A = this chain, B = another copy of it.
């Protein structure tokens, strides 16, 4: 079973997400690639110019890799409160590793996490999420083109 996640459903979820997030942030970090579209739109919405990406590779052709590879940890200028976003927190391995690495590197910053989808079996729960994932999701940015 696969769920085709359209732009229209995404937009509606973004509205729900921003209603949930009452905090204000200085910067957004997108977990690439999945979080990039969301980070872009949230950056525009909150008028945050400091938008970074962090690269992770956890899947190869829909198969989960044993080891999460994280690279390109962003050089954050002076932001103190930072929102990390991804499309989905699935196993949670990626978000957990990213959060660990960023907290190590920026011990004085406050990191919060948001995702569109979350699987309750994940080892980490994002601070905000919209839907529980029950099947593989075909995000519009992956399949529309």
User: A residues engaging B (CB < 8 A)?
Assistant: 7, 11, 14-15, 18, 30, 32-33, 36-37, 39-45, 49-53, 55, 57, 71-72, 74-75, 77, 141-142, 144-145
Q: What B residues does A42 contact at CB under 8 A?
A: 145
Q: How far is the CA of A138 from the CA of B42 in the complex (A)?
A: 15
B30:A36 contact, CB within 8 angstroms:
yes
B77:A75 contact, CB within 8 angstroms:
no
Q: How far is the CA of A141 from the CA of B10 in the complex (A)?
A: 12
A39:B41 contact, CB within 8 angstroms:
no
- In this complex, the member of A15, A40, A49 whose beta carbon has the largest number of chain B beta carbons within 10 angstroms is A40
Copies in the complex: 2
Q: How far is the CA of A43 from the CA of B39 in the complex (A)?
A: 15
B77:A51 contact, CB within 8 angstroms:
no
Q: What B residues does A77 contact at CB under 8 A?
A: 71
A145:B39 contact, CB within 8 angstroms:
no
A45:B11 contact, CB within 8 angstroms:
no
A44:B11 contact, CB within 8 angstroms:
no
Q: How far is the CA of A57 from the CA of B36 in the complex (A)?
A: 18
User: Which 3 pairs of residues, A with B, have the shortest CB-CB distance?
Assistant: A36-B40, A7-B7, A44-B142
A44:B75 contact, CB within 8 angstroms:
no
Q: How far is the CA of A145 from the CA of B12 in the complex (A)?
A: 9
